[in-house]
Amino acid sequence: MRRLPGIAVAAALAALTPQAVGDRTPEAGPATRRSDAPESRQAVFARVARTSGVPESVLLAVAYLESRWDANNGLPSVSAGYGPMHLVDGRLGPELRRHDTEDPRGDERRPRPPVVPAAQAPPPEDTLHRAAELTGITPARLRRDPAANIEGGAALLADHQRRIGAQPAADPARWYGAVARYPGTTGTGAGTGSAGSFADEVYATIRTGAARVTDDGERVVLRAIPDLSPPRLPTSAGLRRAAAPAPDCPPALSCEWMPAAYRRLKQGGYGNHDRYDAPRPIDYIVIHDGETGYDAMTRLAADPTYLSWHYTLRSSDGHIAQHLRGSDIGWHAGNWYVNSRSIGLEHEGYLARGAWYTESMYRSSARLVAYLARKYQIPLDRAHIIGHDNVPGTTPETVRDMHSDPGPYWDWRHYFELLGSPLTGSSDPTARSVLIRPDYALNRARFTGCAKSGTCPSRSTSSVWLHSRPSETAPLVRDVGKHPTDASTYSVYDQAARASTGQRYALAGRRGDWTAIWYLGQKAWFHDPVAMRTSVPATGRLVTPRPGLTSVKVYGRAYPDASAYPRGVPPEKLTPLQYTLPAGQFYSLGMTSPATYLRAGAFDPSHHRIIRGDTPYRQIQFGHRIMFVRAADVRVISDEDRR
């Protein structure tokens, strides 16, 4: 099993003591406990290991891969899993939700109203209630009490060990089959990976070790066992390998080929993607959440009347299904220019129902993205690895309905650490850009819209709110595209006035514990206290209107001028968005994009063609979303030029 690039845990952790694992803030708790203090999480793992017969290293590694040992305030994951051991409440069941009306194809020449067909899927394995049966602990306590949750997870592992006919053992290697069964997915269909991919990752974690401070201030250490070599997956584990065409995934991942539907429709047209039989330029990887479960998503991808994306990732064990070839164009981002230059990844889960994503899914996703980025030479930064919520509208009319996933609960900072490209910013304190980088565990921004009550539970988030003045009581900044007649809101679905981890903005001012950036044509202030910074200095190129221009038009795509289209091909209309970039303001440059339009619309891909123009565009971080300006309208400067 190859190690995931970028994981900052190495075999040297074998020598770590709990005191060697640094706290983020004093809130992380004292290094020692009084005798009458509650049992530490480390002690709970040790005690439960003794009483259950499950080796402590196995318990710790399974919990790390599910939750990184976090309690998450008793809130469920995006796939209804609770606590450090991710005990899944199968009675909640997956639902299919869409919270906006974006046209996923994003091509007004071929408008496609979003139709959501039925996608019945079996509920997930109910490990929460099974753990309750095995332990006698109530489901409510298993959800909210981390110690009880660990007992429930250990009972499940011991039960799996019995069911596959294996005896309890002190040797961690003899628990491989039970660990492979733990996520509750017996049919992984591993094309290039293995049915034991989750177990492989667990045992890789045991070999390297791990250590961190949890979201509730608990220091936990898994000491490395470098020489541990688990046996091969036993046939009695109840898992299977499926023979199928090889998907385009890293060899170590559990990944299978589940093709999206491609056929003509009775009512005309075809679905559910565009095929392209030649290499196409790929600049982006778009991160989505699917607003439903893995089984429902894979069924929807096989429906020609629905939409398409390239990969679906499962929460419980990080298993991946590939639906489209890299050369094919998915209908997923709501912007045809981005669709034609991107690969889309749908992750099991919900933007607002559930508080967190599993470590297994983060790791699989990061390994897949790192592999694709190498293959297509995509830089690992937030100008190229973007969320669906960073994709711009194509015309002024489409801006309001653009999607907002994966939302503020996706941990971009941790994700880029797993990618091997940590968001470090610059050591130069005079740098004139800032990189948004709050401490995810401690950053608990206010949100509404998660439930009928209108208030979201306190959760770790990757976003900061942007105000019109340096005050918490000041109104949020305006977004004339998202809110043409009303104010920005604190809704979890409203990204009009917030910046996200990894995004770089030009510094516009500082006042006390507040920092201002240029955002959507205005100064936007966010709380950035010296004692707990939510940004770091950053360097990089910026753009500003060229001399003589009072403002510059902003676009949602980089299409060629009309003169670039050959005879018989109607030119795409170049419609600026409702925003402008005023003189005297600066915005971070992500890349210089050639003017291109991939003309599709025919079932036979031989009719498709890429039209290239001579007008380059600059991609900028203009608000929460990326946008484009004509290169001729702006000048590019470095941070040094502004000093």
Nearest to 503 by CA among 467, 527, 538, 529: 538
Distance CA 106, CA 388 (A): 13
Query: Quick one: CA dihedral 489, 491, 493, 497, positive or negative?
Result: positive
β partners of residue 599: 609
Contact 337, 389 (CB under 8 A): no
Average pLDDT, the chain: 88
* pLDDT > 70? residue 14: no
Per-residue model confidence (pLDDT) at position 417: 98
Alpha carbon distance 246, 73 (integer Å): 41
pLDDT value for 506: 98
**pLDDT tens per residue, range 341-386:** 999 999 999 998 877 999 999 999 999 999 999 999 999 999 999 9
Sorting pLDDT into bands at 50, 70 and 90, what band is 2? Answer: very low
pLDDT score recorded for residue 191? 36
The tens digit of pLDDT for each residue in 438-471 reads: 999 999 998 999 876 678 988 899 999 999 999 9
Distance, in Å, from the CA atom of 109 to the CA atom of 104, rounded to the nearest integer, reads 13
Distance (Å, rounded) from C-alpha 130 to C-alpha 368?
32
Torsion from C-alpha of 487, 488, 494, 498, nearest 10 degrees: 170
User: Tens digit of pLDDT for each residue in 242-256?
Assistant: 455 689 999 889 999
* pLDDT per residue as tens digits for the range 171-197: 999 999 999 999 987 544 433 335 578
What letter does residue 440 receive in the DSSP assignment?
A: T
Q: Are 190 and 171 in contact (CB under 8 A)?
A: no
Its sign, for the CA torsion 538, 539, 543, 547, is positive
Exposed e or buried b for every residue in 516-548, given b needs 16+ CB within 10 A? bbbbbbbbbbbbbeeeebbbbbbbbbbbbbeee
Q: Quickly state the pLDDT bin for 15 (edges 50, 70, 90).
A: very low
Q: In terms of residues, how long is the chain?
A: 643
* DSSP-H helix ranges across 302-392: 336-340, 359-376
Task: Please report, in angstroms and rounded to a whole number, the separation of the first and last CA atoms in the chain.
Answer: 49
Residues 6 or more apart whose CB falls under 8 angstroms from that of 236 comprise 164, 165, 166, 177
163-174 burial code (b ≥16 CB/10 A, e <16): ebebeeeeebeb
CA distances from 564 to 170, 409, 558, 569 (A): 70, 42, 13, 10
Query: Which phi and psi angles does 354 have, rounded to 5°?
Result: 105, 150
The CA distance from 517 to 586, in Å, is 9
Burial pattern 242-254, b for ≥16 Cβ within 10 A else e, equals eeeeebbbbebbb
Is the Cβ–Cβ distance between 298 and 355 less than 8 Å?
no
pLDDT at 364: 97
The predicted pLDDT at position 196 comes to: 77
Q: Is 414 left (phi over 0), alpha (psi -120 to 50) or beta?
A: alpha
CA–CA dist 242, 244 (Å, integer): 6
Contact residues for 588 (Cβ-Cβ < 8 A; gap 6+) = 383, 433, 504, 505, 506, 540, 541, 542, 620, 621
Find out whether 45 and 60 touch, Cβ atoms under 8 Å: yes
Higher-confidence residue of 229 and 472: namely 472
Three-state helix/strand/coil letters over 74-102: HCCECCCEECCCCEECCCCCCCCCCCCCC
Percent of the chain exceeding pLDDT 70 equals 86
pLDDT of residue 577: 98
Per-residue pLDDT reduced to its tens digit, 114-137: 566 666 667 788 999 999 999 999
pLDDT of 28 strictly over 70: no
In the prediction, which pLDDT does 111 show?
75
What pLDDT, on a 0 to 100 scale, did the predictor assign at position 185? 73
pLDDT of residue 392: 98
Place of tokens 């982006």: 284
Q: Closest Cα to residue 414, out of 383, 387, 438?
A: 438
Q: Give whole-number Cα distances, 142 to 67, 74, 86, in Å.
A: 15, 9, 10
pLDDT for position 26: 31
For residues 402 and 577, what is the distance between their CA atoms, to the nearest angstrom? 13
The alpha carbon of 600 is separated from its chain's Cα centroid by a whole number of angstroms, namely: 29
Tell which wins on pLDDT, 296 or 618. 618
Residue 122, both tokens: 């079996």
- The CA angle 493-84-176, to the nearest 5 degrees, is 120
Statement: residue 8 has pLDDT above 50:
no
| Contact call for residues 247 and 255 (beta carbons, < 8 A) | yes
Q: Which residues pair with 257 in a beta bridge?
A: 322
For 79-90, write each residue's pLDDT tens digit: 899 999 999 998
Does 20 score more than 80 pLDDT? no
Query: What span, in angstroms and rounded, lies between the C-alpha atoms of 30 and 52?
Result: 29
Confidence of residue 206 (pLDDT cuts 50, 70, 90): very high
Region 391-410 average pLDDT: 95
Helix ranges, 216-319 (H): 294-301
Q: pLDDT tens digit string along 497-517?
A: 999 999 999 999 999 999 999
> Which tens digits make up the pLDDT trace of 585-616?
999 999 999 999 999 989 999 999 999 999 99
Range name among 13-22, 287-296, 416-425, 556-565 with the lowest pLDDT average: 13-22
Look at residue 22 in the predicted model and tell me its pLDDT: 36
> For residue 367, which of 4, 45, 63 has the smallest C-alpha distance?
4
pLDDT band at residue 429, thresholds of 50, 70 and 90? confident
Bridge pairing between strands 596-599 and 609-612: antiparallel
